Amino acid sequence: MFLLIGTAWFFKTLFLDCTRFNQFDMKKHFIQFLITLSILSVNAPLFAQATKKIQADKQRAAQWRPAQGQYYFSHSMVFDYENKAEQTKGTITIYLDPVSGGMCFKKESSFGKGGKDFDFVIGFPDGKYIFCGSDDNGKKIKIVEAVGALKPGPDTKAQAKEDFATYWAPTGNKRDEFGFESSEYDVSYATSESKDKVWLTKTPFSVYPLYGLEFVESAVAMPVSFDFMHVLEPNQLISEINSKDTILKLKSFGKDPQTVQTKTYPEFKTE
């Protein structure tokens, strides 16, 4: 858009002035036009372009077989964290299938002791979760649950937008986060005078499978809270928090293929 305006301006000026200026003046205008184009290109908004999509991994066609109980995740997100209240710190790894938006949480690399007897959890944007682990007798089980909160209604969405506008103030700071646009916010709270610095990264996939774990009662607990679904959009990933209780920072995002099998876990029907 900036280039089109600049081009129109140049030719209009050239047409009006060609009868009044000599060849030297016309060259001067042309040089000014080139300088203007350079300035406009440099100052064009860095994040004006749409969030790029993640291309499907070539192995996915052969490895992604839900009907056979096999799930393939081509990417991972890795966070550094510190829970000051619990006096714990470490890393959290979450595996992602960019095509379906499915996420995989492994005991050894994400929820740890907060997952009781589960080996891993698979979550989807539609609210479906698959928990695979062992019962009290050590027998393998699979539990499938649906979390309706991942599909908020119109009233819930409207309230979330209102709360975001009220309590999340953009600072104007932006940065690139592994190829995605990130923006900084000053977050205030209705019940507290404290404010936190939070960075949100715009993603081409839904992050609700991560936020939705908070709604699965007595299942797994991440080392730090990701309870943000009540206020954030599906494509808004918390990539950094600096508060009095929590420090969280997205450390890496990229290809990290993982395959998990659920077929060896017999399904346990809950009432």
**92: Cβ–Cβ under 8 A, 6 or more apart, which residues?**
78, 79, 81, 109, 110, 222, 223, 224
Q: What is residue 181's DSSP assignment? A: E
Residue 98 has pLDDT above 80, yes or no: yes
What's the farthest any 2 CA atoms get from each other in the chain? 95
Statement: the pTM of the whole predicted model exceeds 0.85: no
pLDDT in tens, 216-261: 765 788 999 998 988 999 999 999 999 989 999 999 999 999 999 9
Nearest to 211 by CA among 66, 94, 109, 131: 94
* Residue whose C-alpha is closest to residue 136's, from 1, 268, 3, 4: 268
Degrees to nearest 5, angle at CA 97 with 92 and 102: 80
Q: What is the pLDDT of residue 24?
A: 43
Q: What are the beta bridge partners of residue 169?
A: 186
Digit-coded pLDDT (tens) for 2-22: 344 444 444 344 334 444 444
* Token representation of residue 130: 């698959």
pLDDT tens for each residue of 153-180 = 889 889 999 999 999 999 999 999 999 9
If pLDDT is split at 50, 70 and 90, which confidence band does 32 have?
A: low
Where is 12: in which H helix or E strand?
helix 2-17
- Determine the pLDDT at residue 235: 94
Q: What is the pLDDT of residue 117?
A: 84
Mean pLDDT of the chain: 82
